[in-house]
Each structure stands twice: as structure tokens, then as C-alpha cells.
Amino acid sequence: MKKIDVGVLGATGMVGQQFVARLEHHPWFHVSWLAASERSEGKRYDEASAWRLATPMPDAVRALSVDACIPGRGPKVVFSALDAGVAGEVEEAFARAGHIVLSNARNHRMDPLIPLLVPEVNSDHLAVLAEQRRAKGWSGAIVTNPNCSTVVLVMALAPLQRFGLKTAVVTTMQAASGAGYPGVPSYDILGNLVPFIGGEEEKIETETLKILGSDAGRTPHALVISSHANRVPVIDGHTMTVSVQVEAKAALGDVREAFRTFAGRPQELKLPTAPIPAILLRDEPNRPQPRLDADLGGGMAVSVGRLRPCPVLSFRFVALGHNTVRGAAGASILNAELMQAELQCLS
Amino acid sequence: MKKIDVGVLGATGMVGQQFVARLEHHPWFHVSWLAASERSEGKRYDEASAWRLATPMPDAVRALSVDACIPGRGPKVVFSALDAGVAGEVEEAFARAGHIVLSNARNHRMDPLIPLLVPEVNSDHLAVLAEQRRAKGWSGAIVTNPNCSTVVLVMALAPLQRFGLKTAVVTTMQAASGAGYPGVPSYDILGNLVPFIGGEEEKIETETLKILGSDAGRTPHALVISSHANRVPVIDGHTMTVSVQVEAKAALGDVREAFRTFAGRPQELKLPTAPIPAILLRDEPNRPQPRLDADLGGGMAVSVGRLRPCPVLSFRFVALGHNTVRGAAGASILNAELMQAELQCLS
Amino acid sequence: MKKIDVGVLGATGMVGQQFVARLEHHPWFHVSWLAASERSEGKRYDEASAWRLATPMPDAVRALSVDACIPGRGPKVVFSALDAGVAGEVEEAFARAGHIVLSNARNHRMDPLIPLLVPEVNSDHLAVLAEQRRAKGWSGAIVTNPNCSTVVLVMALAPLQRFGLKTAVVTTMQAASGAGYPGVPSYDILGNLVPFIGGEEEKIETETLKILGSDAGRTPHALVISSHANRVPVIDGHTMTVSVQVEAKAALGDVREAFRTFAGRPQELKLPTAPIPAILLRDEPNRPQPRLDADLGGGMAVSVGRLRPCPVLSFRFVALGHNTVRGAAGASILNAELMQAELQCLS
Amino acid sequence: MKKIDVGVLGATGMVGQQFVARLEHHPWFHVSWLAASERSEGKRYDEASAWRLATPMPDAVRALSVDACIPGRGPKVVFSALDAGVAGEVEEAFARAGHIVLSNARNHRMDPLIPLLVPEVNSDHLAVLAEQRRAKGWSGAIVTNPNCSTVVLVMALAPLQRFGLKTAVVTTMQAASGAGYPGVPSYDILGNLVPFIGGEEEKIETETLKILGSDAGRTPHALVISSHANRVPVIDGHTMTVSVQVEAKAALGDVREAFRTFAGRPQELKLPTAPIPAILLRDEPNRPQPRLDADLGGGMAVSVGRLRPCPVLSFRFVALGHNTVRGAAGASILNAELMQAELQCLS
């Protein structure tokens, strides 16, 4: 099969680099176009980009000439690693010009006509794309993935939907890499933690409801979430404690079973980057831990551990996921895989 | 006023060193006796003790000869920094022999005849001492202080008692120093966190109820607590997120006022190490932080921040306290100050 | 004695805050004037400054109105915490207008007419001030302190001057706070180190020679230094390994004695912030350590340890000093104290 | 080709686990026997071993029954991850009983009849094995690999041998994982560094000379090394600054070329875990960094950067290697590969 050409908007930044790195050996996609701000235009990618990842820059992109983010240039499929400051308008312009935009930015996530997609959880929300196209008048499309904490939470809550989700109290302990680059000053976080991340709690509390919602997310789930977001001196991996209340009188064993057997369309379709299992339920008392477990399933799986009854709500547990993989570039790529497998709309 | 001679059991360990350091300039107490395990017996303190604190070893104790932990030796008042493995029996033997034992160990905390004391919160629990003496047949006494997380939580919940505490969901992010020495291996915690601390959640969930309980703690408070304990790569200072449900329909301003005006017997009596204020309610969005705020009030104050409504329970906030000061040696010393001020029983 | 009014240029930044904090209870100086960039002009200091220190903002400065950095305004004595980008011109303008400028910036350090002062080491370099005034036509003056690594090294080398310093190979392990704020991104330094700090090695290798030089530094010392500068995930305190070659055939005991007895004009004059001793020679095998020892002498002392013969050069040891105290604000304040004590030129 | 059965002595410890993990997919070797202390004897490996690595325990070893370290049991080839406390006698007993012991312990490294092997550097030292067998009366053999810092240094010095190595001043910044498990207490290293590692400097200064020496290491190289060993809060990867003096008047370009073209027998023989290149010379000003570069070449390559003239000696640079791979289990495995390729003595 000929690979599908894809581009990356905001290719020189931290998330852009992650798109480039993770797409290097992708069986379906081939990075043929890199775009960034005007000051990088015309430069070779290896000159325009201060590479910050542990994996080396793929040789295939080193000499690519960086283009400006101008709709119409580049291939049909573009991944957007743009900052929220510019993502809103640029992504719309690309969709209008016929591009399929897989966006990691927060700007369009809550738009009722734009899917906020977690393929294991709400693959059916892709159905809104037809109306998106009609209402917006776009020949292309925009599909978004959630905030890096939201995706871990929603993956961990999805198996419990069958018991009737009522409330959840969540405390996140988020890695430094979640703040991008330069992100958190080291003076603020060495031997320290910061019990606040601007806008994060709101995203967790609202995005989750759209993803779990009905009518392609236009009717949010009735679940009520209270979240406490913290930055901790961890490199990669967002860990969170979750106490959750459910309607049904579920036994602990039922909940265990729900986690153990959880799978969604990516696993059914055997998408290239679908983690199998999607969720790993661990029995060790002191796991999951971000440094040991964030890379599970190529960084795409969510680890759940310490599942036990909650004396205040119904159950409590710890969930962990890789914030720059499952929570960013990897999420957009899985979204693209799902769209191609379900709709064949990328090729 | 002539100072009261005091001793330290387990003086060579980490908590023992903190007793020694914090008592150096104490206006009421004078360290005249240091005891440790038999292998230190007869050695000078500066030879027996591998000093690990940033503050230098007080000159006055350097040449003290370390004694064995034998009841009858040493002064009437002894602070116990013994490990739980030996604290149970040794402390009882000292109480039987007429010593007043201020214990930091967990062994006797839940004994209904032994006060689990937080002077700002339950100074009236000292009333059980008469019965303790009678029932145990001790000429001395044992008074304990809570676990290093419990004390921070209970200080932060105490001002809310007036609203009727019903439930609380708590997630702790605890400093490495809370595990003692050698404690957590660095390989486990560098750039990582561990979502489990053995026995910690049980202590938080039960000790708190005794401290807030009536009849000197023999009737536990009806509050139900769900706690999630985590170790994070912070040096000193336990931070925790708290969502709390109260019975009364309190306005946020009422809760603010409750925190701001909170004071207890230590503040009324102006005890030497009583923090004033006992609780500092902070308005900055990103405080308290352990590295910046743990030392507040000489490490004896608790910081509360991010107070806001909780969509699931009633209110939520962040609390922070110094785990090896307010959570260990400093707590025992404040207990001693209270006992002397209220009962004059130490001199 | 009436205190001398002093001002701070660049008062809202990290180093400016350190000046403000360290001057709070100074027995000779009183902060009466705070200046910063135009965007802070007219604001209260507590509104203009995002306070980042663990010690709280002094009450006395909270309501001070922040002025612009305009010569002629403010008191005769000003401490400069300006960034190198603007310090050059602004400091000169202040000196021209009659101010005594105690500068922490790098701009004028290597000017042969401007003292690069470490009071314990080259207090006689103040003699160049007469010529500075004449040649520059300034009614005021500029006096600088060295780079935060240089000052630690030069303090540790000064006692060895009597043996004839020939060469030194130095490797620094520098704290994150040395990079200012926001400084090093946490993503770069958590669980990592960076074996490069731009311009640092050049400063260490040249500033040291001026400070140890003769003719008020205009003839640099003949010592040859090779330095390797590294950033490590330490909060405060620059540690360095030093191998040094001397001309004389000194015994290890002579070198020990030289460190132990080292003192300079600040110690003779008993200046308010002079550390006594200036250097602490430690015998423990594993000290000095930045977290335990950087605060020695109020952060103004240098710790030396692990002194032993060097099989390649003559001797080797570890030196440590507090980079934001002895290496920045504290250094300028000690310079001011020396100038007032020796020349009475500040009042 | 049928794989060669191998065993691991000390299989339940940290280094033992690394042997097990790294041998999982080895093309030549198959782990068929795991031995540990008596208290593990008879248990399944997954019960006896508290697995601490990020990579999961290989399925193939989970159910293996752990044996005691008794010579004669187990296959001919055994890797030794034993602690120095027991390694000396046990390894000798195995060699006497006919086993080929690939040892990571320090006990026999300096024995003139036992090769201290770095395959890229001194593969010819295997020649001493004949005499070892004769003199010791062993039907088996012992081959050792160096200390985790030594191997990085010796790899970086080997290319410079052609210029005549005279002296080197080395400062190491070593990862926490180098201290084993539990190793360094987190309280000692969080936001801190320790400028001392017991015995480390002696190992670096002596092992290097044996490895670079002639007559199979029995005549040590004349190079004189001065080392400063430091523990820093890095997880994996030992970084070191090196200033080196050579006899020849080499141009910087010659040294660059020497690094770039360096290869040894493992590269010539294309051994399964031989890194290609053996040394990566980096041009970026701020590399190598342990978190980004330690895994290079599967953790078996050494990174060199910041190569520049040294004003005191001849040249200076930074070297980095993975301490638990190239510095431990990976080193022993490469030794085994070399022995099989050169001598066919393992099968």
C-alpha cells in the first residue's frame, strides 16, 4: 500500500517534533511536508528545529524545507501542533481549503460540530463530521484530541460507564513535559510541586463530559467531576488519583473485569498504534509509576492500579498515561488511523 | 526560670536529631540526656550519631555520653523518636517508671487511654491522662502526636468543624523526608512518584477521627475520609488536595473566615513554638508550595490555599505542612509545652 | 547611627528581590528606593514584583512606589540587579550622575578602571577608584562583583596564593538558580545535567585572574585555569572540583592550615555580613553538599572539603558557595560594607 | 544455530535483573538457569525477584525455579551479578568447577591473571586466560568488566592512545542507579549532590591503567589520572569532564578524527551488541546529556562532546555512557560475545 502523505503544522516546536518522531516508521503515513512560523520558512528542518527529543531526528526529514502554514500548500492530511494562540484561525483556514486537520490544540475542542475524539471511547462521534462540513462550509475537516490529563481520565472512566457514572474526585500529578517547552522553570519545580495549572481543571471537568456524552458529544454526560491539578517534578507521565461514584451496586470484581476487558474500535480494527490492551490493570500495590509505566503500549496504553473501594464514593484507583504520547501527538495519530479505517477519508 | 531537663529516646536517628536540633534554644526545655540502642551506649553523641541535618549539631550535645534506653535513667520528661519496632514496649516501660513520654511513634496512638494530641485541635483530650494513670497503673504517662500527614489534614479540617464535617476525599503528595532515613531509595523517586505508602492511608483515615472525636477521642468523629497517599520527589513538606463535604450550607466567605480566624490553646497560651497564625490562608493561585512554604511559622504552621467550591462535595482546597517539624519532632515539643502550660506536670 | 539610604536597580527581578530580602534587617543600609523597567513605573512594589523567594516580601517595601531607572532619582548608593542587556549604559549613567553603583552585572567587570571586588581577596583594588573617577569623569563610581562561580573559586584559591598558583583544572556543578528566572526549563534538567553554560567558562577563566592580579587587577595573575561548567538539578549552591598546581613544595598540612586561617578585610573589620570563618574546611569525607552547606555563614561563607594530594597537579579539593548570596546580591552588599568601612564614601 | 545456555548468579538483584532483561532476545544466548541466595532457592523467579526495571520481566523466566549458587549446577556460562561481599569466593568456585564466569563484581578485576576486559580496547588481554587456567588450576575461567565510570573513561581515552597519554584530570557526575538498589537514600540526593563515592576514585585511577596496559594488563599504562567522583540526581548515565595531556603535538582535527574513526574488535566482528559507532562525537555545544544520550547504541555506545583545547593540559571534553548497560550487565554480555567469537570457548 502506498503511504498517505501527511504534513505537520507547527513542526519545529516540541509537540511538532513528537509528531515527526512518532510518524517516522508509521506503516500508513509518510511525512512529506513540514510547516512552521514565517521565521522558519525556507530553512532546512534540521536548521529550523532545535531538536529536544531523546530519539534522534529522523534522517528523512532533516533536509525537508520548512514551509509557512499556508492552506492549500502541503498534503490533504495535516497534523496540527500549533500553539493555541494561532491554532484557531489557521486550522479553520486549512479545513476550509480542504485539508483534514488532526489537531492537538485546545481551540476547537468544545465546538459542538468538531469531534473531541478518543478512539477507544467515542469513535461514533465521527458522525458529526457530515454536519460539520455542511454547517461550516468546509471541504476539509477538523478533528481534535483532548487535553493530556483528560485523555487519561476518560480512558479510565470509560470501562465504568456501564455502572452509571455519577461523580468523580480527581487529583492529577502532572509531568513537566506537559507544559511544553520551555514550560515550567526549573527553579519552580526542583524538589517542589505547584498545586495549580492554569485552565487545566476546567478542561478536565468539561472535555470529559463531551467525550462521554451522547449525540456526538452535543449532550454532555451528566457526570460531575471535581479536579485538583498539580505539577510535580516528573519528566513524562501524568498520574492521577480517582475516586468515583457509580449508580449501580457493582462488586469490586465487576469493576476489575470491566478494566481488564476494556477495548474499543482501535483494538477491534487493530489500528497500527492501538495499544493492546488499551488499559493495563495492575495488581502490585505500588504501581503504576510514571517513570516505569508511562511507556506501556508505546506510550498509548493507560495503566490503572490500586483499585479498591472508596469509603466516600464507590471506588478509587490510580491512573497513569503518557502525556506527550497518548496525551498529544500519539492521540492525533490514532485519530487519523481511526478516520482512515472507518471512513477511508484520508487517502 | 530554670529550664526543665529533658531526654531523647532514639536520639541518634533522623527524628532524634530533629528533636535535638529543635530543642537547642528552647526557652523551657534543656536536653540533658540522650539515649539510643545498645550499640551506641557509652559513645559521645557526635560519634554515635551520623548527623544529617543542614543545621549543625548543637555544641551542647556533642560530648554528651549516649545512654541505653533504660527506664529510670534520664530525666522525668523524655521525647521518643524510637522506631515502631521497639517504641511500644520501651515507651510503656518508661511511663511505668514515672517518665512523661512525648512519643512520635505510631504504636500507642490509637489506644483509647492515650491522647493523640494536636494542641490547636483537641487540647481537652489531655483529660484522659488521669484515667490512663489509673487504668495502666503508670506513675508517668504517654502522650502521642499523629502521623505526619494526619496532622496537616486535621489542622486544615478543624476550622470547618463548625459547619459539620461529613466526608472528605484527600490526596497526599508526601516528601521524601517523611520516610525517615535511609527511607525511599533515590532510584525509586528521581523523576518519578510512587502512588502508595504502606499503612499511611489507614493512619490518615483513623487517626483524624480520634483527634476530632469526643470523650477524649474515645468516640471517633463521624466524618468519613477517603485518602490516596503518594510519595513525590519533594524534600520537605507534605502537600494534599482536599475535597470536603459539610452539613451546613456555608458560603465560601464563611469558610475563608473560619480559616483566617482559626486559633487554639497554643495561640491563646502563647506557647513558645506555637505558630501565629496557626493556619495561613493564601490567596495566590499557585500556593502553597512545599519548598517555599513548608517553613512557615518555624515549620509549625499549616498553609491552606486554592480554597474554592467543590462541584462534587462542598469545598476543596490545598493544605501543606512541614512533615518533619509539625509532623514529627515539633509536634511532640508543642505537646510538651501544652502539658506544662495546662497541667504543670513536667517540672 | 542613622542608616544609609540605598536603592535597587532592577528591583522586581530575581536578583533584585534578593537584594530587597537581604537588606531587610541590614544594620547600616535602608532600602528607600526601588527602580525597574518602565512598565513597572508607578506601581506598588508588591504589585510590580512577582515575588519568588521562600522568605516573605519585607513589609517595609510592599507599598514603595517603583520608579524608573533614571539617574539623579533615588539615593546616592544603588545596588544594580540589572540584566546585562541594559546594565552597561544605565550603570554608567548613574555613576556619571554621582551615584555609587554596586553592580552584579557582568558588563563592567573586566574594565581595568572598575574594581572586580571580592573583599576577602582584593580589597586593595578599591584604590583604582580615584583613577576611575578621573579618567571616566564620573562624580560617582561603579564597583562590581564576580560571576557566581568565579567568586567561589577565587575564595578557595586565595589561601593558596602563598604557595604560588600555577594552574588549576576546575569542574563546576552549578545550581538551577544560577540561571535566573525563568532560567533553565525544567524539561532540560529534571533527572539530567547539561554540560555547558554559555559564557561561564570564559568568565571563570578571566575574572579570576583579574581578581588575583596586581596593580588593582590591571596586571592579571599568571595562573592558567581550565574550567568545565555544568548545570545540575540542584536548587541553590555551586559546587566545584578543583585540581591545583602550586610552585612551592607545600605539605598537605600547610594547605590545611592556609584554609583554616584564611581571613581578609571583612573579617578584620567585622563587617555586618562578613562570614566568620570566611572558609570552612570540612573533614567529613562526603561534604560539602549544596543542600546542607550552601547556607553556611548566612550564605556568605565558602565550604572546602575533600582536600587531598592530586597525582597530576599538586592538590585537589571540593569547594562550594551559595550562588545567589555569595555569588550575587550578598556579594554586592559586602562590597558596599567594605567601601563604607574603608572609605566612608557611601554616607 | 542453537543458542548457548547461560546462567545468572545473583539473578534477583538489580544487576541480575538487568542481565535477565538484556539477554531476553539475545541471538546467541539463552537464559536457562537463575541462581541467588539461599533464601530464594526453590522459588519461582517472579516470586523471588522484586522486579524494578521499566521493561517488563521476560515471560520466559517468570516460572524458572531459582537455584542456589552452587558450582556444577547450571550451564557452563554464567554471568555474575553477585555483590562484592560474596562474589570473590563464589566466582572462584565456579571457575574451578569448569564454568566460564563473566563477572561484573570488583573482586577479581585487578588480579593479574584475570582479564579486565573492554572489548573495543583490550581484546588481546584474553590471551592471559591460558595462564590463568594453568596457574589457578581452573578448568573454567573468570573474565571481568570494569567499574561503571572506568569503562566510560577508558573508551574515551582509547582513541587518544596514539598521541601518547600522559595525564588526565577527570570529574565524574554519576547517576543514582550506579549505586545499586536501594543505593543512595533519596533524602541525600534530591536537589543535592554528594562529592564523594567510596572507592570509586581508586577504581577509576587503577582499573584504567590495567585496561590500557601491556602484557595483558600486567604492565600498567604510565598514564597518571586524578579523578573526582560525584553523585548527582540523574537516573541513568555517568557523565564526566576530562582534561587530558598527550605527548604528541596533535591538532584538534586529529583528535576529532581519532574519535570519529574509533572502532575495535566488536565492531570488526559485528558482535550482536557492539555499538556502531562505538563512540559518537557530538558537535552540539550542550551535549551529551545523560537523559537524552545514555541510551545511544542500545546503551552500549559512549558519547563524547565539547571537544576543545585545554589551556592547562592538551585537550578537554565531556564523555557519557550508560552506567547500568555499558557499565554493568551490557559489558559482561559483550565480553561473552567477544570470547565466543574469538575463542569459541562458550559453546
The yes-or-no answer on residue C238 being catalytic is yes
Task: Give A166's contacts (C-beta < 8 A, 6+ positions apart).
Answer: A222, A223, A224, A245, A246, A247
Chain D nearest C-alpha distance from A289 (Å): 9
Q: Which residues pair with A227 in a beta bridge?
A: A170
> D279-281 and D238-246 as β-strands: parallel, antiparallel, unpaired?
unpaired
Partner residue facing D185 (CB), from B183, B233, B234: B183
For residues C198 and C201, give the distance between their C-alpha atoms in angstroms, rounded to a whole number: 8
Nearest to D233 among B179, B188, B190 (CB): B190
Residues of A known to be catalytic? 148, 238
Strand ranges of the sheet holding D279-281, from the earlier edge strand across to the other edge: D224-231, D165-174, D238-246, D315-321, D302-309, D279-281
Query: Can you give the three-state secondary structure of chain A, one letter per residue?
Result: CCCEEEEEECCCCHHHHHHHHHCCCCCCEEEEEEEECHHHCCCEHHHHCCCCCCCCCCHHHHCCECEECCCCCCCCEEEECCCHHHHHHHHHHHHHCCCEEEECCCCCCCCCCCCECCHHHHHHHHHHHHHHHHHHCCCCEEEECCCHHHHHHHHHHHHHHHHCEEEEEEEEEECHHHHCCCCCEHHHHCCCCECCCCCHHHHHHHHHHHHCCECCCCECCCCEEEEEEEECCCCCCEEEEEEEEECCCCCHHHHHHHHHCCCCHHHHHCCCCCCCCCEEECCCCCCCCHHHHCCHHHHCCEEEEEEEECCCCCEEEEEEECCCHHHHHHHHHHHHHHHHHHHCCCC
Q: Return the pLDDT at D92.
A: 98
Give the mean pLDDT of chain A.
97
N-to-C CA span, chain B = 11
CB nearest to C169's CB, from D192, D234, D312: D312
* Annotated catalytic residue, options D99, D108, D125, D238: D238
What is d(CA D31, CA B5) in angstroms, rounded to the nearest whole number? 64
Are B191 and A312 inside 8 Å of each other by CB? Answer: no
pLDDT digits (tens, 9 = 90+) for D304-339: 999 999 999 999 999 999 999 999 999 999 999 999
Fold match between domain D4-146+328-343 and domain D148-322? no
CA–CA separation, D5 vs A199, rounded Å? 57
Contact C47/B at CB under 8 A: no
Percent of chain B with pLDDT over 70: 100
Cell 482559626: give the residue: B262
CATH number, span C150-322: 3.30.360.10
C312 close contact with B: CB closer than 8 A: no
Within 10 angstroms of residue C83's Cβ, the number of other Cβ atoms is 16
Give the C-alpha separation, A328 to A19, whole Å: 9
**CB–CB of A311 and B232 under 8 A?**
no
Neighbouring chains to D with at least 3 Cβ pairs closer than 8 Å: A, B, C
- CATH architecture under which domain C4-147+328-343 falls: 3-Layer(aba) Sandwich (3.40)
Q: What is the DSSP letter of C155?
A: H
List the grid coordinates of A345. 477519508
- Choice among D99, D148, D221, D322 that is catalytic: D148
> Three cell numbers at A296?
506501556
In CATH, the architecture of A4-146+328-343 is 3-Layer(aba) Sandwich (3.40)
Cβ contacts of A257 within 8 Å, gap of 6 or more: none
The three cell numbers locating residue A328? 498529544
CB contact under 8 A, A241 and B195: yes
* Residue of chain B nearest C53, judged by CA positions: B292
Average pLDDT over residues B327-340: 98
Interface test with B, best of D173, D181, D187, D197 (most B CBs within 10 A): D187
| Per-residue pLDDT tens digits for A167-196 | 999 999 999 999 989 999 999 999 999 999
Q: Where are the domains of chain A?
A: 4-146+328-343, 148-322
Q: Can you tell me the distance from the alpha carbon of A304 to that of B172, in angstroms, rounded to the nearest whole number? A: 18
Could you list the beta-strand ranges (E) of C175-322.
224-231, 238-246, 279-281, 302-309, 315-321
Q: How far apart are CA D67 and CA D47, in angstroms?
A: 13
Cβ neighbours of A190 in D, within 8 Å: 191
pLDDT, one tens digit per residue, over B151-199 is 999 999 999 999 999 999 999 999 999 998 999 999 999 999 999 999 9
The closest CB to that of C291, out of B54, B190, B295, belongs to B54
Which residue in the set B53, B54, B292 is minimally distant from C54, CB to CB?
A: B292
d(CA A21, CA B212): 55
Interface partners of chain C (CB pairs < 8 Å, 3 or more) are: A, B, D
- Name the burial class of residue C106, with classes exposed (0-12), middle (13-18) and buried (19+) by CB atoms within 10 angstroms of its CB: middle
* Chain B, chain D: beta-carbon pairs less than 8 Å apart: 60
From CA A190, how far away is CA C237, in angstroms rounded? Answer: 13
Q: Are B173 and B195 in contact (CB under 8 A)?
A: no
Q: Which residue has the higher pLDDT, D147 or B180?
A: D147
Calculate the dihedral angle through the C-alpha atoms of D317, D323, D326, D332, rounding to the nearest 10 degrees.
Answer: 140
B8 SS3 class? strand
Q: Spot the catalytic one: C99, C125, C238, C322.
A: C238
Contact of D285 with chain A, judged by CB distance below 8 Å, is answered with: no
- pLDDT bin (cut points 50, 70, 90) of residue D54 is confident
For the four alpha carbons of A286, A287, A289 and A293, in that order, the dihedral sign comes to: positive
> Which residues from B are below 8 Å from C187, CB to CB?
none
The closest alpha carbon to A184, from B282, C172, B286, D190, belongs to: B286
Phi, psi of A168 (to 5 degrees): -150, 135
D196 touches chain B (CB under 8 A): no
Q: Do A185 and C183 touch (CB under 8 A)?
A: yes
Please check whether residue B30 is in contact with residue B65, taking contact to mean a CB–CB distance below 8 angstroms.
Answer: no
State what percent of residues in chain D have pLDDT above 70.
100
Chain C interface, best mutation among B47, B51, B280, B292, by max C CB count within 10 A: B292
* Start-end of H helices in C69-165: 84-96, 119-122, 128-136, 150-157
Above 0.85 for ipTM, yes or no?
yes
Tell me which chain A residues have a C-beta less than 8 angstroms from the C-beta of C189: 186, 190
Average confidence (pLDDT) over B291-307: 97
The pTM of this model reads 0.97
D291/A235 touch (CB, cutoff 8 Å), yes or no: yes
Q: Three cell numbers at D48?
A: 523471588
CATH class of A148-322: alpha beta
pLDDT score at D334: 98
Residue-level pLDDT at A340: 98
pLDDT beyond 90 at B271: yes
Question: Residue A34 pairs with which residues in a beta bridge?
Answer: A8
- Rounded CA separation D122/B318 (Å): 59
Report the distance separating Cα C305 and Cα C321, nearest Å: 12
Q: Which residues of C touch A177 (CB under 8 A)?
A: 187
Q: Is B293 on the interface with C (CB under 8 A)?
A: yes
Chain C CA closest to residue A177 = C187
- CA A289 vs CA A159, A231, A322, C331: distances in Å: 21, 15, 11, 43
Listed by number, the residues of chain B in 48-107 with a beta carbon closer than 8 Å to a beta carbon of chain C are 53-54
Q: In sequence order, what are the residues at sequence separation of 6 or more whose Cβ sits closer than 8 angstroms to the Cβ of residue A12?
A: A34, A36, A37, A40, A45, A48, A49, A50, A66
Across the range D219-245, mean pLDDT stands at 98
Contact residues on chain A for B169, CB-CB shorter than 8 A: 169, 243, 310, 312-313
Q: Is D191 on the interface with B (CB under 8 A)?
A: yes
pLDDT by position in tens, chain C (length 347): 799 999 999 999 999 999 999 999 999 999 999 999 999 999 999 999 999 998 899 999 999 999 999 999 999 999 999 999 999 999 999 999 999 999 999 999 999 999 999 999 999 999 999 999 999 999 999 999 999 999 999 999 999 999 999 999 999 999 999 998 999 999 999 999 999 999 999 999 999 999 999 999 999 999 999 999 999 999 999 999 999 999 999 999 999 999 999 999 999 999 999 999 999 999 999 999 999 999 999 999 999 999 999 999 999 999 999 999 999 999 999 999 999 999 999 98
- Of the partner residues B190, B191, B295, the one whose CB lies closest to the CB of residue C54: B295
C-alpha cell at D120: 573495543
- Which residue from C minimizes the CA distance to D309? C226
Q: Are strands D77-80 and D4-9 parallel, antiparallel or unpaired?
A: parallel
| Res. A54 pLDDT band, cuts 50 70 90 | confident
D206 in contact with C, Cβ within 8 Å = no
Please determine, for residue B1, whether its predicted confidence score (pLDDT) is greater than 90.
no
Instruction: Kindly report, residue by residue over B95-105, the tens digit of the pLDDT.
Output: 999 999 999 99
Identify any residues that bridge with C319 across adjacent strands, giving them in sequence order. Answer: C240, C304
Q: Are A328 and A21 in contact (CB under 8 A)?
A: no
Residue B229 has pLDDT above 80, yes or no: yes
Contacts of A310 in chain B (CB under 8 A): 169, 226
| Chain A interface test: which of D292, D293, D296 (most A C-beta within 10 Å) | D292
Q: Would an 8 Å CB–CB cutoff place C189 in contact with chain D?
A: no
Confirm or reject contact between B292 and chain C (CB < 8 A): yes
Question: CB under 8 Å to D157, separation ≥6 — which residues?
Answer: D165, D168, D208, D212, D223, D242, D244
For all residues of chain D together, what is the average pLDDT?
97
Neighbouring chains of B at 3+ CB pairs within 8 Å? A, C, D
**How far D191 CA lies from chain C's nearest CA (Å)?**
4
Considering CB atoms only, which of D181, D187, D191 is closest to B187? D181
The whole-angstrom distance between C297's CA and the closest CA on chain A is 23
- Judged by CB atoms within 8 Å, which residues 242-261 of C form the interface with D? 243, 245
- β-strand D279-281 against D302-309: which pairing, if any? parallel
Beta-strand pair D165-174/A224-231: unpaired
CA dihedral C10, C11, C13, C14 (to 10 degrees): 120
Burial of C233 (0-12, 13-18, 19+ CB in 10 A): buried
AA letter at D336: A
Q: Are D91 and D102 within 8 A, CB to CB?
A: no
Q: In whole angstroms, what separates CA B321 from the centre of its chain?
A: 10
Beta bridge partners of D238: D321
Best mutation target among C166, C173, C187, C192 (most D Cβ atoms within 10 Å) is C192
C230:D239 CB<8 A: yes
